[in-house]
């Protein structure tokens, strides 16, 4: 009898190993299929790549670097963070004839690898049940995945977040040894790359480093985790500060934060890029005669504090704009007109195909559907968050890391400009929670039917 039980256990274990092997193959094949589709798509795009929302400006920055080198005084390189153009610069310098194809290929390969890496780490944990569908949704979500074929930081940063979340997940309940510290350093490296392209993720990096450190036992280990992640992450902003200090004599990452915050503030505006009404007043600090970017930041913050009603109104408006659909009546203030998905979106085709179609999409029916879509995806976020948290302490921590990334990105948008484009960099994280929510809902329905 005992022998029979042992044989049964061995057979069960063998079946599990076969199942795990099959899942792993799927997690490799799914991103590869998406990558192959992208390569075919590149062959049908003029130049092999699309321009993202700020693609023109990034290329102006690259041209400035080609003309004058690292310390180029090209205005775009100091007004916007210079990180993304700096990453493109070596390819434009040495491989100019295939530059656009190369950028699209590198971004797409990175996104495919990050998808595999992230879902493979999920498959080795108790989140295994979510891995397959997470890989499918991440690989074939048209807006997120196709953004790797556009000149822009959005998809690469989304890939960085997958690398970060997957690496942290792989360290949970593991011994604090050499491999652990290599993982900590790599998280700092991925955050450094993300903040190099978009410095607003500095705050997210610092908070996640602290949250991760608090979970680990031992005061020394906590300090080492936080300091290692933050110090490595700070290398990228330091490069941009050094560049701007040497080229324009301003020790700053960029000079557009105050301008951006001012666009999103005011008594009559909606909080998006298309502002209306008077601007927030701001005077230069004596003895200066020109308002600096730092002056604007202080003026906008003071305005928020002294105008609580408008602050609340704008916060709600920006929150809606952040989660608004890519097209339709709620997308009026977004900057995703170049979204690759809109080239094939059925809704967009209906809206632009006829007057009646435009009225349908922009009218009461389209507005109602847009609000259902908006609040539905937010609801799925929290359902998925709750579903993963209930699996155990390790999963609870993972859910917290994912949610911190999303919520902080949302709050940063509320503090600056409400724009649905700003959710793309953390969209890889929000989709994980939404997949978990849909699978949890499906399980409940199956249990009721069963």
In a domain, 236, yes or no: yes
Is pLDDT above 50 for 1?
A: no
pTM score > 0.85 for this model? Answer: yes
Peptide bond into 287 cis (omega under 30): yes
Pairwise CA distance, residues 90 & 141, whole Å: 30
Residues 14 and 82 in one domain: yes
Residues 50 and 137 in one domain: yes
What does the pLDDT average to over 101-125?
Answer: 97
Q: Which domain holds residue 352?
A: 308-450
Is pLDDT above 50 for 64?
A: yes
pLDDT attached to residue 328: 85
Is pLDDT above 80 for 44?
A: yes
pLDDT attached to residue 391: 92
pLDDT attached to residue 72: 97
Least confident of 27-31, 314-318, 341-345, 409-413: 341-345
Work out the burial of residue 88: count CB atoms within 10 Å of its CB; fewer than 13 is exposed, 13-18 middle, 19 or more buried. Answer: buried
Residues 150 and 55 in one domain: yes
pLDDT attached to residue 3: 46
In a domain, 288, yes or no: no
| Cβ–Cβ under 8 Å, residues 199 and 157 | no
In a domain, 296, yes or no: no
Residues 7 and 153 in one domain: yes
What does the pLDDT average to over 142-166?
Answer: 97
Which residues pair with residue 151 across a beta bridge? 51
Residues 245 and 319 in one domain: no
Residue 124 banded pLDDT, cuts 50, 70, 90: very high
CA 164 remoteness from chain centre: 12
Burial code (b: 16+ CB inside 10 Å, e: under 16) for 390-417 equals ebeeebebbbbbbbbbbebbbbbbbbbb
Task: Output the CA–CA distances (angstroms, integers) from residue 140 to 158, 172, 299, 404, in the order listed.
Answer: 14, 29, 43, 24
What does the pLDDT average to over 256-276?
Answer: 92
Tally of domains in the chain: 2
pLDDT attached to residue 2: 47
Q: What is the tens place of the pLDDT at every residue in 168-179?
A: 999 998 899 999
- Better-scored residue on pLDDT, 384 or 337: 384
Residues 329 and 232 in one domain: no
| Cβ–Cβ under 8 Å, residues 27 and 20 | no
Structure tokens at 120: 């493979």
Residues 324 and 244 in one domain: no
What does the pLDDT average to over 254-271?
Answer: 94
In a domain, 24, yes or no: yes
Q: What is the tens place of the pLDDT at every residue in 400-448?
A: 999 999 999 999 999 999 999 999 999 999 999 999 999 999 988 888 7
Residues 49 and 166 in one domain: yes
Select from 213, 228, 250 the last residue of a domain.
250
Helix (H, G, I), strand (E, B) or coil at 185: helix
Residues 97 and 205 in one domain: yes
Average pLDDT of the chain to the nearest whole number: 92
Check residue 174 and report its DSSP letter: -
Is pLDDT above 80 for 265?
A: yes
Share above pLDDT 70 across residues of the chain, in percent, rounded to a whole number: 96
Residue 12 banded pLDDT, cuts 50, 70, 90: low
Select from 250, 265, 300 the last residue of a domain.
250
Residues 217 and 340 in one domain: no
Residues 191 and 85 in one domain: yes
In a domain, 255, yes or no: no
In a domain, 237, yes or no: yes
**Angle between helices 355-362 and 364-389 in degrees, nearest 10:** 50
Burial code (b: 16+ CB inside 10 Å, e: under 16) for 25-47 equals eebeebbeebbeebeebbeeeee
- Which H or E run contains 151? strand 150-151
In sequence order, the 6+-apart residues with CB closer than 8 A to the CB of 222 are: 213, 214, 216
Helix (H, G, I), strand (E, B) or coil at 258: helix
Residue 4 banded pLDDT, cuts 50, 70, 90: very low
Helix (H, G, I), strand (E, B) or coil at 175: coil
**Phi, then psi, of 50 in degrees rounded to 5:** -95, 165
Pairwise CA distance, residues 27 & 140, whole Å: 13
| Cβ–Cβ under 8 Å, residues 163 and 179 | no
pLDDT attached to residue 450: 60
Check residue 150 and report its DSSP letter: E
Which residues pair with residue 150 across a beta bridge? 50
Least confident of 9-23, 118-132, 166-180: 9-23
pLDDT attached to residue 337: 86
Select from 231, 250, 269 the last residue of a domain.
250
Greatest CA separation for the chain: 92
Residues 93 and 204 in one domain: yes
| Cβ–Cβ under 8 Å, residues 150 and 340 | yes
Work out the burial of residue 63: count CB atoms within 10 Å of its CB; fewer than 13 is exposed, 13-18 middle, 19 or more buried. Answer: middle
Is pLDDT above 70 for 15?
A: no
In a domain, 273, yes or no: no
Q: What is the tens place of the pLDDT at every residue in 212-221?
A: 999 998 899 9
In a domain, 98, yes or no: yes
pLDDT attached to residue 380: 97
């Amino acid at each position: 009898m005992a022998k029979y039980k042992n044989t049964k256990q061995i057979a069960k274990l063998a079946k599990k190993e076969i199942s795990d092997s099959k899942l792993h193959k799927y997690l490799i094949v799914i991103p590869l299929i998406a990558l192959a589709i992208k390569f075919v798509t590149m062959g049908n795009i003029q130049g092999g790549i699309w321009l993202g929302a700020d693609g023109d400006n990034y290329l102006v920055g690259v041209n400035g670097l080609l003309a004058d080198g690292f310390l180029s005084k090209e205005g775009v390189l100091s007004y916007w963070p210079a990180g993304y153009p700096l990453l493109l610069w070596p390819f434009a310098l040495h491989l100019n004839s295939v530059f656009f194809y190369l950028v699209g290929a590198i971004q797409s390969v990175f996104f495919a690898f990050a998808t595999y890496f992230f879902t493979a780490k999920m498959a080795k944990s108790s989140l295994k049940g979510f891995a397959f569908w997470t890989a499918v949704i991440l690989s074939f979500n048209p807006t997120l995945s196709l953004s790797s074929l556009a000149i822009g930081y959005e998809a690469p940063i989304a890939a960085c977040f997958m690398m970060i979340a997957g690496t942290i997940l792989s360290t949970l309940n593991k011994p604090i040894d050499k491999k652990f510290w290599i993982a900590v350093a790599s998280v700092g490296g991925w955050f450094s790359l993300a903040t190099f392209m978009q410095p607003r993720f500095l705050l997210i990096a610092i908070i996640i480093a602290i949250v991760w450190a608090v979970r680990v036992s031992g005061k020394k280990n906590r300090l080492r985790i936080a300091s290692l992640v933050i110090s490595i992450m700070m290398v990228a902003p330091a490069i941009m500060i050094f560049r701007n200090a040497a080229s324009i004599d301003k020790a700053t990452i960029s000079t557009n934060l105050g301008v951006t915050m001012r666009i999103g503030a005011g008594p009559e505006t909606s909080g998006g890029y298309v502002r209306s009404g008077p601007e927030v007043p701001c005077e230069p600090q004596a003895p200066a005669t020109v308002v600096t970017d730092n002056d604007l930041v202080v003026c906008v913050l003071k305005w928020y504090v002294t105008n609580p009603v408008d602050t609340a109104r704008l916060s709600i408006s920006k929150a809606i704009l952040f989660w608004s659909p890519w097209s339709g009546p709620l997308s009026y203030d977004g900057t995703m007109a170049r979204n690759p998905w809109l080239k094939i979106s059925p809704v967009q085709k209906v809206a632009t195909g006829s007057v009646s179609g435009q009225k349908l999409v922009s009218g009461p029916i389209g507005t109602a559907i847009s609000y259902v879509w908006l609040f539905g995806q937010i609801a799925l976020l929290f359902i998925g968050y709750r579903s993963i948290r209930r699996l155990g302490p390790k999963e609870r921590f993972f859910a917290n890391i994912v949610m911190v990334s999303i919520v902080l990105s949302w709050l940063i948008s509320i503090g600056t400009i409400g724009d649905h484009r700003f959710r793309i960099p953390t969209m890889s994280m929000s989709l994980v929670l939404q997949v978990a929510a849909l699978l949890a809902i499906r399980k409940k329905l199956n249990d009721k039917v069963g």
